[in-house]
Amino acid sequence: MDSLEVLENKGYTSIAEADYEEGFLNGLLEGEAKGKAEGFLDGAFDKAREMAKAMLLDGLPIKQISFYSGLSEEEIKGL
């Protein structure tokens, strides 16, 4: 069985069609992974902001909050 027969058995009419679909699927997977990573980072940032707000309410110094939360002093002052 040659390459074209294998492709035809999988429903492709040409190598170009198979390559196009492979590229399309790889793009979808990369996009999904990127979206998940961005969502994770957004969630981590939101959690750091929540923690910093609680520390502010408890009266901790901004410098200390910045150290533990990873937020800048300017970000903390804006909460």
Q: Specify the number of domains making up the chain.
A: 1
Question: What are the residues whose beta carbons fall under 8 Å from the beta carbon of 26, sequence distance 6 or more?
Answer: none
User: Sorting pLDDT into bands at 50, 70 and 90, what band is 68?
Assistant: very high
* Residue 3, pLDDT score: 66
Contact 45, 38 (CB under 8 A): no
3-state secondary structure of 22: helix
9-32 per-position pLDDT tens digit: 777 777 788 788 889 888 999 999
35-51 per-position pLDDT tens digit: 999 998 899 999 999 99
